Each structure stands twice: as structure tokens, then as C-alpha cells.
Chains A and B, each alone.
Chain A
Amino acid sequence: MAGKLFSWPSLFSCPDERAMWRVRTEEDAQAFAELVSRWQGPIQGLCTRMLGNRHRGEDLAQETFARLYARRHSYEPTGKFSTFLWRIALNICYDELRKIKRRREFSLDGLDTDDGHGSLEFEADDPGPDARLVENERAEAVRQALLQLPEPYRVVVVLRHYEGLKFREIGDVVGIPEGTVKSRMSEALSQLGRLLNPLRPEMPKNIAPLPPESLLI
């Protein structure tokens, strides 16, 4: 009887899965609102960094949650909710990037490489105009560098470095082995290093690369 009254795993399990299960089975609006509130920030962060534009990131985050609700019946409680949600968000980002690429093929409006509006916004606790200007320039350089990374590398960087997913979790989301995630991360960091070279005055001039066998994927 006591075992039925107190189920220990239910006390410590992640609430996301239970909330999503309520959304799926009972169409519980409150549970869905709780999920949106909990995940809006990370999903906007992912979309913003994948697209390089905050306004588009916000739009895509809204689209992600709309699609999440529309696909609530395909959610399986045996899987992690976060993996389910990240995949939806990534697919929406990929779709948007494909649209941008198609538009770029037919017009001069390209990816947001020169779109300062809505791309970078900073918190109010700035240290002063000069320091803020420097920070803005650095942030813009990073944004540009990220956008120049191939998408498979950019995804790994955003999910690992900014959103804090483990390499194994990224592998689950993207559908590749953990080792491949790590090798893509190392290659992404190497490419970023080359792209951001002007920001690295303290780096030695001649960096010896790792031996080839250590970079084999």
C-alpha cells in the first residue's frame, strides 16, 4: 500500500515529460503554457544563433511551439521531451535556412551577414559607450563567424557551447554518434579560430596542428 502511495521515481523525474504527457492526453493548456515558459529562452537562443537574427529567432521559436502542439500526438513518453523539442526547433531552422538560401540564389538579399537590426541587442548594464562599442564589434564578429560555419558544425557549437547540452545529448538530437559530434565541435572551434583571428592578438604565430591521426573521425 505504501508503495502505491509513494512512488519514488515520480518524485525525482523531470517534469517536462509529465507536462507533455498531459498536453498529449488531456490537451492541458496550463501544462503547455508551463512548457513554453520553461523552454522559450533556450529555443529562442537556438533559433537566433542558427539564423543570426534575433527577430527571426523569436518568430521561429513561436513556430516551434505551434508545431510542438500540432504534433503532440506523436510525442512518445519513453523519449526525452527536450530531444523531441530540440529536433522540432532544428528542423524549423533548417527549413528557414533553406528558404534563405533559395532567396539568395534569386536575389541579392542574402543571409543576415549585414543585418545589424535585430541581430545584436545587449543588456542595459553596459560599462560605457566605448566598452559597449568594443563588445558590440566582438559580438558581431562572432555572429558573422558562426554564420560562416557549415550548418552541421554550427548546430553543434550552438547546442554545446550556448545551450549546454552534453555531447551525447547532441548526438541524440542530431542523430549522429557522440564521437562525430565531438569531432565536429573540434573542427568548428578550429574554423572559428581562423575566422576570428583578428581578435586573437595573444595567439602564437605558428601553431603546430595536432597530428593527423588525432583528428581522424
Chain B
Amino acid sequence: MSNTHPTAEDWMSYLYGEDAPVRHLELEAHLRACPTCRNQVEQWRHSMRSLDHWSDVRPRRKSWAVEPALRWAVAAAVMLGIGIGVGRLASAAPRSAQLRELVRMEVDARLNAAHAEFAQILERRQAEMAQKLQAAAAQAGSEEARQVLGDYAKVLDEQRTSDRQAYLAAFRQLDERQRAEVGNLREALQTVALNADDGLNRAQEQLLELASSPRSTSP
């Protein structure tokens, strides 16, 4: 038995498992040799057991700090996900040009479809308007009224034609702008993909270096 007793702080760390392993062994050895400390520690232990009689009133906190297994599981899942992602990226690289071409074709097809739909709607509405005007002229009672309505229909038709040309010009302008934006976006995506490839290659090289480097000897 040593001449000096461990302090109460030492014993609290010991009882709640917060001391270092070496210190824990020292305190255990002291306990075996010192009846005074043994009695005192047993008294504290009994108080701790008594506290457990007031069972937990609420579920314990799901602490990340006290669930190392969960953290390791999450880490393993993340590493697995990264591995799958790297694998998919690596396998998709040779097909990137094909994919870009597919994206371009899809965008072009959608733009052309929108253009055709817009033109059809415009044609249909003009035809409906012309029919209504012709019907109104036929029902008109006097020759003068029919003449006025016919003139009005011509003016309206000319106006619609110029409107249609303006619409189509605006649509073409919008179309060109969208194509330019798609082109810029495509270039940006290519840059990001190339940078990501470089970064992943570098990470792979570093991992290979680490794996091939000799293991350090344990102290």
C-alpha cells in the first residue's frame, strides 16, 4: 500500500470509467491493498447503485459520442457509396461523348416540338378568326355592310400576318438564345467532369501510395 491515498477526484474518474487505463490499474492495485479506500469506494458504489433505482424517466439521448459502432457503420456506408460513385464515374467516362450527343439531340427535339406546337396554335386561331369574319359578312344585311366587313377582314388578316412574322422572329431569337445557353452549360459540365476526374485520379493515386507504403512499426 502506498503512503498517499488517491484523491476523491481520482476515484470519481475511476468509478465512472473516465481515467486512463494505466491509472485505472494503479487504482485497482491500491484498492486491493488499502481497506480504507476500499470501504469508501464501496460506499460510493452503493450510492451509485441506489441512484439506479429511480429508473430512467425518459429514453436516453441518442448520442453520437456513445455510439461508436453507429459512427463506424455510417463511415463504412459513406466509403461504400464513394467507392460505388467512383466506379460508376470511371466506367461512364468512355461514354461521355455519346451522352453529351444524346443530351444535345434531346434539347433540339424539345425545342423543335415547342416551335411546331406554337406555329400550329397560331395557324388555328387565325383560321378561326377568318371564319368568324366571313360568317358575319355573309349574315350582314346590306351590300355596304358586307363591303366594310370584307375590308375589315383584309386589314385584320394583314395585321395577323405581320403579328405572326413578329412572333416567329421572337421565337427564333429565343430559340437561338436557349441553344447558346445550353452550349455554355454543356461546356461548364464538361469542365466540372474533367476536374472531378482529375481529383478522383489524384485521390486514387494517393490511396495507392498509402497502400503500397511500408507499415510503421508499432511502438
Residues of A within 8 A of B (CB): 1-3, 5-6, 11-12, 14-15, 38-42, 44-45, 48-49, 54, 57, 120-123, 135, 138-139, 141-143, 145-146, 157, 160-164, 166-167, 179, 182-183, 185-187, 189-190, 192-193, 196, 199-200, 202-204, 207-211, 213-216
Q: Bound state CA distance, A15 and B4, in angstroms? A: 45
Interface of B is mostly: helix
Q: What is the distance, in angstroms, from B52's C-beta to the closest C-beta of chain A?
A: 8
Judge if B169 is at the interface, Cβ distance under 8 Å: no
- Interfacial chain B residues near A215, Cβ < 8 Å: 7-8
Judge if B37 is at the interface, Cβ distance under 8 Å: yes
Judge if B190 is at the interface, Cβ distance under 8 Å: no
Q: Bound state CA distance, A139 and B53, in angstroms? A: 5
Say yes or no: B48 contacts A161, CB within 8 Å: yes
Say yes or no: B5 contacts A167, CB within 8 Å: no
- Interfacial chain B residues near A138, Cβ < 8 Å: 50, 53
Interface of A is mostly: helix
Q: Bound state CA distance, A208 and B43, in angstroms? A: 10
Say yes or no: A210 contacts B40, CB within 8 Å: yes
Q: Bound state CA distance, A64 and B63, in angstroms? A: 19
Knowing A2-B199, A179-B9, A214-B6, the reply to whether A142 touches B40 (Cβ < 8 A) is no
Say yes or no: B61 contacts A163, CB within 8 Å: yes
Q: Bound state CA distance, A185 and B198, in angstroms? A: 56
Knowing A166-B18, A209-B40, the reply to whether A214 touches B61 (Cβ < 8 A) is no
- Interfacial chain A residues near B36, Cβ < 8 Å: 208, 210-211
Cβ-neighbour of A143 out of B13, B54, B56, B59 (below 8 A): B54
User: How many interface residues does B have (CB within 8 Å)?
Assistant: 49
Say yes or no: A207 contacts B43, CB within 8 Å: yes
- Interfacial chain B residues near A145, Cβ < 8 Å: 50
Cβ-neighbour of A167 out of B11, B16, B56 (below 8 A): B16
- Interfacial chain A residues near B203, Cβ < 8 Å: 2
Q: Bound state CA distance, A54 and B200, in angstroms? A: 55
Knowing A207-B40, A208-B35, A210-B37, the reply to whether A42 touches B54 (Cβ < 8 A) is no
Q: What is the distance, in angstroms, from B91's C-beta to the closest C-beta of chain A?
A: 18
Judge if B125 is at the interface, Cβ distance under 8 Å: no
Say yes or no: B50 contacts A2, CB within 8 Å: no
23 A-B contacts (beta carbon < 8 Å): A2-B202, A2-B203, A11-B78, A15-B64, A45-B56, A45-B58, A48-B58, A139-B53, A146-B51, A157-B51, A166-B18, A167-B13, A179-B9, A186-B11, A186-B44, A192-B51, A207-B40, A210-B36, A211-B36, A213-B4, A213-B5, A214-B5, A216-B7
Judge if B217 is at the interface, Cβ distance under 8 Å: no
Identify which of residues 35-81 in chain B touch chain A, using a CB-to-CB cut-off of 8 Å. Answer: 35-37, 39-40, 42-44, 46-48, 50-51, 53-66, 71, 75, 78
Q: Bound state CA distance, A122 and B57, in angstroms? A: 8
Cβ-neighbour of A38 out of B56, B58, B61, B202 (below 8 A): B61
Say yes or no: B50 contacts A199, CB within 8 Å: yes
Q: What is the distance, in angstroms, from B31's C-beta to the closest C-beta of chain A?
A: 12
Judge if B184 is at the interface, Cβ distance under 8 Å: no
Q: Bound state CA distance, A161 and B52, in angstroms? A: 9
Say yes or no: B44 contacts A211, CB within 8 Å: no
Q: A202-B46, A208-B36 are in contact. List 20 more A-B contacts (CB 8 A).
A: A1-B198, A1-B199, A2-B196, A14-B65, A38-B62, A41-B61, A45-B58, A48-B57, A135-B55, A146-B51, A162-B56, A163-B61, A179-B9, A182-B12, A187-B8, A207-B40, A208-B39, A210-B5, A210-B8, A210-B40
- Interfacial chain B residues near A179, Cβ < 8 Å: 9
Which chain B residue lies CB-closest to A178?
B9
- Interfacial chain A residues near B42, Cβ < 8 Å: 203
Q: What is the distance, in angstroms, from B58's C-beta to the closest C-beta of chain A?
A: 4
